[in-house]
Protein backbone atom coordinates (compact mmCIF):
# COMPACT_ATOMS: atom_id res chain seq x y z
CA UNK A 1 0.00 0.00 0.00
CA UNK A 2 1.29 3.41 -0.92
CA UNK A 3 0.21 6.71 0.62
CA UNK A 4 1.15 10.05 -0.83
CA UNK A 5 1.83 12.55 1.96
CA UNK A 6 1.14 16.21 1.31
CA UNK A 7 4.01 18.69 1.13
CA UNK A 8 4.56 20.71 4.29
CA UNK A 9 3.20 17.97 6.52
CA UNK A 10 4.29 18.36 10.11
CA UNK A 11 7.00 15.69 10.65
CA UNK A 12 5.56 14.99 14.10
CA UNK A 13 2.19 14.10 12.57
CA UNK A 14 3.84 11.88 10.01
CA UNK A 15 5.82 10.20 12.76
CA UNK A 16 2.60 9.62 14.64
CA UNK A 17 1.06 8.01 11.55
CA UNK A 18 3.98 5.65 10.92
CA UNK A 19 3.95 4.68 14.60
CA UNK A 20 0.26 3.87 14.39
CA UNK A 21 0.81 1.72 11.30
CA UNK A 22 3.72 -0.09 12.90
CA UNK A 23 1.48 -0.84 15.88
CA UNK A 24 -0.82 -2.61 13.42
CA UNK A 25 2.11 -4.88 12.57
CA UNK A 26 3.01 -3.18 9.30
CA UNK A 27 6.36 -2.02 7.94
CA UNK A 28 6.69 1.52 6.61
CA UNK A 29 9.11 3.05 4.12
CA UNK A 30 9.49 6.74 3.37
CA UNK A 31 10.76 8.22 0.10
CA UNK A 32 10.96 11.89 -0.89
CA UNK A 33 10.26 13.30 -4.35
CA UNK A 34 9.73 16.86 -5.47
CA UNK A 35 8.67 18.00 -2.02
CA UNK A 36 6.25 15.09 -1.63
CA UNK A 37 6.75 12.17 0.68
CA UNK A 38 5.80 8.68 -0.40
CA UNK A 39 4.90 6.28 2.36
CA UNK A 40 5.18 2.60 1.49
CA UNK A 41 3.21 0.29 3.78
CA UNK A 42 4.00 -3.40 3.64
CA UNK A 43 2.36 -6.34 5.43
CA UNK A 44 -1.23 -7.37 6.05
CA UNK A 45 -2.71 -4.09 4.95
CA UNK A 46 -6.27 -5.42 5.18
CA UNK A 47 -6.08 -4.28 8.78
CA UNK A 48 -5.93 -0.64 7.67
CA UNK A 49 -9.17 1.30 7.36
CA UNK A 50 -8.81 2.81 3.88
CA UNK A 51 -11.49 5.43 4.44
CA UNK A 52 -9.85 6.64 7.60
CA UNK A 53 -6.38 6.67 6.07
CA UNK A 54 -7.53 8.44 2.90
CA UNK A 55 -9.31 11.04 4.97
CA UNK A 56 -6.31 12.13 7.02
CA UNK A 57 -5.43 15.74 6.37
CA UNK A 58 -1.80 14.89 5.69
CA UNK A 59 -2.65 12.20 3.14
CA UNK A 60 -3.09 13.13 -0.49
CA UNK A 61 -4.09 9.71 -1.72
CA UNK A 62 -3.74 6.04 -0.91
CA UNK A 63 -3.41 3.13 -3.26
CA UNK A 64 -3.34 -0.56 -2.59
CA UNK A 65 -0.64 -2.35 -4.52
CA UNK A 66 -2.66 -5.51 -4.79
CA UNK A 67 -6.35 -5.57 -5.59
CA UNK A 68 -8.72 -5.94 -2.61
CA UNK A 69 -10.38 -9.03 -4.08
CA UNK A 70 -8.77 -12.36 -3.44
CA UNK A 71 -10.83 -15.50 -4.02
CA UNK A 72 -12.17 -14.24 -7.34
CA UNK A 73 -8.85 -12.91 -8.60
CA UNK A 74 -6.89 -14.38 -11.46
CA UNK A 75 -3.82 -14.26 -9.25
CA UNK A 76 -5.48 -16.52 -6.68
CA UNK A 77 -6.57 -19.03 -9.30
CA UNK A 78 -4.87 -18.76 -12.69
CA UNK A 79 -7.13 -21.21 -14.54
CA UNK A 80 -10.61 -20.30 -15.74
CA UNK A 81 -13.38 -21.60 -13.51
CA UNK A 82 -16.01 -23.87 -15.07
CA UNK A 83 -19.27 -23.91 -13.15
CA UNK A 84 -21.66 -26.86 -13.33
CA UNK A 85 -25.35 -26.10 -13.38
CA UNK A 86 -28.17 -28.45 -12.40
CA UNK A 87 -27.24 -32.07 -12.74
CA UNK A 88 -23.84 -31.07 -14.09
CA UNK A 89 -24.39 -31.53 -17.79
CA UNK A 90 -24.44 -27.80 -18.38
CA UNK A 91 -21.27 -25.89 -17.68
CA UNK A 92 -20.40 -22.19 -17.86
CA UNK A 93 -16.85 -20.92 -18.24
CA UNK A 94 -13.54 -22.67 -18.70
CA UNK A 95 -14.22 -23.07 -22.40
CA UNK A 96 -17.92 -23.86 -21.99
CA UNK A 97 -20.24 -21.36 -23.66
CA UNK A 98 -23.77 -21.22 -22.29
CA UNK A 99 -26.97 -19.83 -23.76
CA UNK A 100 -29.61 -18.79 -21.23
CA UNK A 101 -32.99 -17.77 -22.58
CA UNK A 102 -36.58 -17.24 -21.55
CA UNK A 103 -39.23 -14.63 -20.86
CA UNK A 104 -38.73 -11.54 -18.73
CA UNK A 105 -41.54 -12.62 -16.39
CA UNK A 106 -43.20 -15.98 -15.93
CA UNK A 107 -46.81 -15.27 -16.85
CA UNK A 108 -48.71 -18.52 -17.31
CA UNK A 109 -48.12 -22.25 -17.32
CA UNK A 110 -48.64 -22.38 -21.08
CA UNK A 111 -46.32 -19.46 -21.78
CA UNK A 112 -43.35 -20.80 -19.86
CA UNK A 113 -43.67 -24.33 -21.25
CA UNK A 114 -43.94 -23.05 -24.79
CA UNK A 115 -40.98 -20.71 -24.46
CA UNK A 116 -38.92 -23.39 -22.75
CA UNK A 117 -39.49 -25.80 -25.63
CA UNK A 118 -38.79 -23.15 -28.22
CA UNK A 119 -35.53 -21.95 -26.72
CA UNK A 120 -34.36 -25.49 -26.10
CA UNK A 121 -34.85 -26.38 -29.71
CA UNK A 122 -32.86 -23.29 -30.69
CA UNK A 123 -29.97 -24.43 -28.53
CA UNK A 124 -30.51 -22.76 -25.17
CA UNK A 125 -29.15 -24.75 -22.24
CA UNK A 126 -30.75 -22.89 -19.31
CA UNK A 127 -34.25 -21.43 -18.95
CA UNK A 128 -34.69 -18.00 -17.37
CA UNK A 129 -37.91 -16.41 -16.13
CA UNK A 130 -38.73 -13.80 -13.49
CA UNK A 131 -40.94 -14.79 -10.55
CA UNK A 132 -40.02 -12.00 -8.10
CA UNK A 133 -39.66 -8.78 -10.08
CA UNK A 134 -37.90 -5.68 -8.79
CA UNK A 135 -39.98 -2.77 -10.10
CA UNK A 136 -39.21 0.91 -9.76
CA UNK A 137 -42.81 1.63 -8.83
CA UNK A 138 -44.78 0.02 -6.00
CA UNK A 139 -47.83 0.20 -8.25
CA UNK A 140 -46.41 -2.07 -10.96
CA UNK A 141 -46.78 -5.85 -11.26
CA UNK A 142 -44.34 -7.45 -8.79
CA UNK A 143 -44.25 -10.93 -10.33
CA UNK A 144 -46.07 -14.19 -9.60
CA UNK A 145 -43.71 -15.04 -6.73
CA UNK A 146 -43.83 -18.63 -5.45
CA UNK A 147 -46.32 -19.56 -8.13
CA UNK A 148 -43.89 -18.38 -10.79
CA UNK A 149 -41.20 -20.64 -9.38
CA UNK A 150 -43.67 -23.55 -9.50
CA UNK A 151 -44.28 -22.89 -13.17
CA UNK A 152 -40.56 -22.74 -13.89
CA UNK A 153 -40.11 -26.09 -12.18
CA UNK A 154 -42.83 -27.56 -14.33
CA UNK A 155 -41.07 -26.27 -17.43
CA UNK A 156 -37.88 -27.84 -16.12
CA UNK A 157 -39.58 -31.21 -15.68
CA UNK A 158 -41.10 -30.93 -19.11
CA UNK A 159 -37.92 -29.97 -20.99
CA UNK A 160 -35.02 -31.00 -18.79
CA UNK A 161 -33.61 -27.46 -18.89
CA UNK A 162 -32.10 -26.22 -15.63
CA UNK A 163 -33.68 -22.94 -14.48
CA UNK A 164 -32.51 -19.58 -13.22
CA UNK A 165 -34.65 -16.97 -11.47
CA UNK A 166 -34.05 -13.93 -9.27
CA UNK A 167 -34.10 -13.78 -5.47
CA UNK A 168 -34.57 -10.39 -3.82
CA UNK A 169 -34.63 -11.20 -0.11
CA UNK A 170 -32.98 -13.74 2.21
CA UNK A 171 -36.44 -14.70 3.49
CA UNK A 172 -37.39 -15.96 0.00
CA UNK A 173 -34.51 -18.40 -0.31
CA UNK A 174 -36.34 -21.51 0.95
CA UNK A 175 -38.53 -21.23 -2.15
CA UNK A 176 -35.43 -21.58 -4.33
CA UNK A 177 -34.37 -25.02 -3.17
CA UNK A 178 -35.00 -26.69 -6.52
CA UNK A 179 -33.95 -23.72 -8.59
CA UNK A 180 -30.66 -24.51 -10.35
CA UNK A 181 -29.12 -21.06 -10.41
CA UNK A 182 -30.08 -17.96 -8.46
CA UNK A 183 -29.87 -14.53 -9.99
CA UNK A 184 -28.90 -11.51 -7.89
CA UNK A 185 -30.21 -8.48 -9.73
CA UNK A 186 -28.40 -5.23 -10.48
CA UNK A 187 -30.24 -3.32 -7.74
CA UNK A 188 -29.18 -5.90 -5.16
CA UNK A 189 -25.53 -6.17 -6.15
CA UNK A 190 -24.60 -4.40 -2.93
CA UNK A 191 -27.34 -5.88 -0.75
CA UNK A 192 -24.67 -7.43 1.41
CA UNK A 193 -27.00 -9.38 3.66
CA UNK A 194 -28.46 -11.11 0.63
CA UNK A 195 -24.97 -11.82 -0.74
CA UNK A 196 -23.95 -13.38 2.57
CA UNK A 197 -27.02 -15.61 2.53
CA UNK A 198 -26.47 -16.95 -0.98
CA UNK A 199 -22.83 -17.39 -0.01
CA UNK A 200 -23.99 -20.14 2.33
CA UNK A 201 -25.79 -22.06 -0.44
CA UNK A 202 -24.33 -24.74 -2.66
CA UNK A 203 -25.67 -23.64 -6.01
CA UNK A 204 -24.48 -21.30 -8.75
CA UNK A 205 -25.17 -17.59 -8.33
CA UNK A 206 -25.45 -15.29 -11.33
CA UNK A 207 -24.38 -11.86 -10.06
CA UNK A 208 -25.52 -8.98 -12.23
CA UNK A 209 -23.46 -5.82 -12.32
CA UNK A 210 -25.02 -2.89 -10.48
CA UNK A 211 -26.22 -0.05 -12.65
CA UNK A 212 -23.35 2.18 -11.58
CA UNK A 213 -20.96 -0.38 -10.17
CA UNK A 214 -17.29 -0.31 -11.03
CA UNK A 215 -15.75 -3.63 -11.99
CA UNK A 216 -13.88 -3.54 -8.70
CA UNK A 217 -17.07 -3.20 -6.65
CA UNK A 218 -18.65 -5.96 -8.68
CA UNK A 219 -15.77 -8.30 -7.99
CA UNK A 220 -15.95 -7.33 -4.30
CA UNK A 221 -19.60 -8.40 -4.29
CA UNK A 222 -18.55 -11.72 -5.85
CA UNK A 223 -16.00 -11.91 -3.06
CA UNK A 224 -18.81 -11.55 -0.48
CA UNK A 225 -20.48 -14.67 -1.90
CA UNK A 226 -17.26 -16.64 -2.28
CA UNK A 227 -15.95 -15.76 1.16
CA UNK A 228 -19.12 -17.34 2.57
CA UNK A 229 -18.13 -20.64 0.99
CA UNK A 230 -19.98 -20.60 -2.32
CA UNK A 231 -17.43 -20.29 -5.11
CA UNK A 232 -19.88 -20.89 -7.96
CA UNK A 233 -20.28 -17.27 -9.03
CA UNK A 234 -21.01 -16.19 -12.61
CA UNK A 235 -20.71 -12.49 -13.42
CA UNK A 236 -23.33 -10.95 -15.70
CA UNK A 237 -22.73 -7.64 -17.53
CA UNK A 238 -26.08 -5.91 -18.18
CA UNK A 239 -25.23 -2.33 -18.99
CA UNK A 240 -24.28 0.68 -16.92
CA UNK A 241 -25.90 4.05 -16.52
CA UNK A 242 -24.52 6.90 -18.58
CA UNK A 243 -25.91 10.14 -19.96
CA UNK A 244 -26.89 8.47 -23.26
CA UNK A 245 -30.64 8.22 -23.75
CA UNK A 246 -31.10 6.46 -27.10
CA UNK A 247 -30.27 3.15 -25.45
CA UNK A 248 -31.67 2.19 -22.04
CA UNK A 249 -28.20 1.57 -20.60
CA UNK A 250 -24.72 1.42 -22.06
CA UNK A 251 -23.55 -2.17 -22.46
CA UNK A 252 -19.93 -2.18 -21.30
CA UNK A 253 -18.46 -4.99 -23.38
CA UNK A 254 -14.88 -4.04 -22.61
CA UNK A 255 -15.69 -5.39 -19.15
CA UNK A 256 -15.61 -8.88 -20.68
CA UNK A 257 -11.90 -9.04 -21.66
CA UNK A 258 -10.95 -6.78 -18.73
CA UNK A 259 -12.57 -9.12 -16.19
CA UNK A 260 -11.03 -12.11 -17.92
CA UNK A 261 -7.70 -10.61 -16.99
CA UNK A 262 -8.65 -9.74 -13.42
CA UNK A 263 -10.66 -12.82 -12.50
CA UNK A 264 -11.07 -16.52 -13.22
CA UNK A 265 -14.87 -16.36 -12.92
CA UNK A 266 -17.11 -16.89 -15.97
CA UNK A 267 -18.74 -13.82 -17.45
CA UNK A 268 -22.09 -13.79 -19.19
CA UNK A 269 -23.70 -10.87 -21.04
CA UNK A 270 -27.38 -9.82 -21.01
CA UNK A 271 -27.96 -7.75 -24.16
CA UNK A 272 -31.75 -7.60 -23.67
CA UNK A 273 -31.92 -5.50 -20.51
CA UNK A 274 -28.89 -3.44 -21.44
CA UNK A 275 -30.33 -2.13 -24.67
CA UNK A 276 -34.07 -2.40 -24.09
CA UNK A 277 -34.68 -2.71 -27.82
CA UNK A 278 -34.99 -5.98 -29.68
CA UNK A 279 -33.28 -4.72 -32.83
CA UNK A 280 -30.10 -4.18 -30.79
CA UNK A 281 -30.17 -7.58 -29.08
CA UNK A 282 -28.85 -9.62 -32.00
CA UNK A 283 -25.88 -7.37 -32.86
CA UNK A 284 -24.86 -6.97 -29.21
CA UNK A 285 -25.18 -10.71 -28.59
CA UNK A 286 -22.74 -11.33 -31.44
CA UNK A 287 -20.42 -8.62 -30.17
CA UNK A 288 -20.41 -10.12 -26.68
CA UNK A 289 -19.57 -13.50 -28.13
CA UNK A 290 -16.82 -12.02 -30.26
CA UNK A 291 -15.04 -10.40 -27.33
CA UNK A 292 -14.96 -13.62 -25.33
CA UNK A 293 -18.08 -13.85 -23.16
CA UNK A 294 -18.73 -17.29 -21.64
CA UNK A 295 -22.42 -17.08 -22.31
CA UNK A 296 -25.44 -14.94 -23.03
CA UNK A 297 -28.75 -14.36 -21.31
CA UNK A 298 -31.43 -13.37 -23.80
CA UNK A 299 -35.11 -12.58 -23.37
CA UNK A 300 -37.45 -14.64 -25.52
CA UNK A 301 -41.22 -14.82 -25.36
CA UNK A 302 -43.59 -16.86 -27.44
CA UNK A 303 -46.98 -15.29 -27.34
CA UNK A 304 -46.93 -11.71 -28.47
CA UNK A 305 -50.41 -10.68 -27.33
CA UNK A 306 -52.39 -9.36 -30.27
CA UNK A 307 -49.24 -9.51 -32.40
CA UNK A 308 -48.06 -6.40 -30.63
CA UNK A 309 -44.73 -7.49 -29.27
CA UNK A 310 -42.81 -8.57 -32.32
CA UNK A 311 -40.33 -5.79 -31.77
CA UNK A 312 -40.22 -5.50 -28.01
CA UNK A 313 -37.14 -6.01 -25.91
CA UNK A 314 -37.74 -9.74 -26.17
CA UNK A 315 -36.98 -11.73 -29.27
CA UNK A 316 -39.54 -14.07 -30.76
CA UNK A 317 -38.56 -17.74 -30.79
CA UNK A 318 -37.87 -17.47 -34.49
CA UNK A 319 -35.62 -14.44 -34.10
CA UNK A 320 -33.83 -16.20 -31.26
CA UNK A 321 -33.29 -19.26 -33.42
CA UNK A 322 -31.48 -17.18 -36.04
CA UNK A 323 -29.44 -15.21 -33.52
CA UNK A 324 -28.39 -18.42 -31.76
CA UNK A 325 -27.19 -19.81 -35.05
CA UNK A 326 -25.02 -16.74 -35.70
CA UNK A 327 -23.73 -16.80 -32.14
CA UNK A 328 -22.43 -20.31 -32.63
CA UNK A 329 -20.69 -19.25 -35.84
CA UNK A 330 -19.01 -16.27 -34.22
CA UNK A 331 -18.05 -18.41 -31.23
CA UNK A 332 -16.46 -20.90 -33.59
CA UNK A 333 -14.33 -18.20 -35.18
CA UNK A 334 -13.27 -16.78 -31.83
CA UNK A 335 -12.26 -20.10 -30.31
CA UNK A 336 -10.55 -21.44 -33.40
CA UNK A 337 -7.34 -19.86 -32.18
CA UNK A 338 -7.67 -18.14 -28.87
CA UNK A 339 -4.56 -15.96 -29.17
CA UNK A 340 -6.46 -12.81 -30.01
CA UNK A 341 -9.09 -12.78 -27.34
CA UNK A 342 -6.80 -13.70 -24.52
Q: Kindly identify the residues of this chain, within the stretch 97-126, that bind its own copies according to CB under 8 A.
A: 104
Of 84 and 134, the one with the shorter C-beta distance to its own copies is 134
The least CB distance from residue 275 to its own copies, in Å, is: 6
Which one of 58, 113, 114, 153 is in contact with its own copies (CB under 8 A)?
A: 58
Binding pattern to its own copies, positions 255-294, x when CB under 8 A? xxxx--xx-----------xxxxxxx-xxx-xxxxxxx--
Helix (H, G, I), strand (E, B) or coil at 297: strand
The least CB distance from residue 25 to its own copies, in Å, is: 14
Q: What are phi and psi of 290, to 5 degrees?
A: -65, -30
Compute the residue count for the chain. 342
Residues that contact its own copies, how many (by CB under 8 A): 123
Whole-angstrom Cα distance, residue 119 to residue 316?
10
Supply the DSSP string of 324-342, one letter for each residue.
HHHHHHHHHHHHHSTTTT-
Q: Is residue 178 involved in binding its own copies (CB under 8 A)?
A: no
Which one of 171, 180, 233, 234 is in contact with its own copies (CB under 8 A)?
A: 171
Of 86 and 210, the one with the shorter C-beta distance to its own copies is 210
The Cβ-side half-sphere exposure at 279, using a 13 Å CA radius, reads: 3
Q: Is residue 40 involved in binding its own copies (CB under 8 A)?
A: yes
Whole-angstrom Cα distance, residue 327 to residue 289?
7
Q: Is 18 exposed, middle or buried (0-12, 13-18, 19+ CB in 10 A)?
A: middle
Q: Is residue 77 involved in binding its own copies (CB under 8 A)?
A: no
Which one of 75, 94, 95, 229 is in contact with its own copies (CB under 8 A)?
A: 75
- Compute, in degrees rounded to 10, the torsion defined by CA atoms 134, 138, 141, 147: 70
The least CB distance from residue 151 to its own copies, in Å, is: 19
The least CB distance from residue 164 to its own copies, in Å, is: 20
Amino acid sequence: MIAMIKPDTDPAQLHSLTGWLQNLGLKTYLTQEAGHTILGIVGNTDAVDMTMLTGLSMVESVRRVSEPFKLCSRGFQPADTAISVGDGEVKVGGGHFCLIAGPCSVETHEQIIAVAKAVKSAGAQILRGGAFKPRTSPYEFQGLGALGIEMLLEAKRETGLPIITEAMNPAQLPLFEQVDMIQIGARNMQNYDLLKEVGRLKKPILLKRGLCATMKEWLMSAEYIMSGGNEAVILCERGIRTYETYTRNTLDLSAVPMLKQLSHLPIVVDPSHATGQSHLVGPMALAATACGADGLMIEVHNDPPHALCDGAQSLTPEEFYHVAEKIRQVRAVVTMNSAVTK
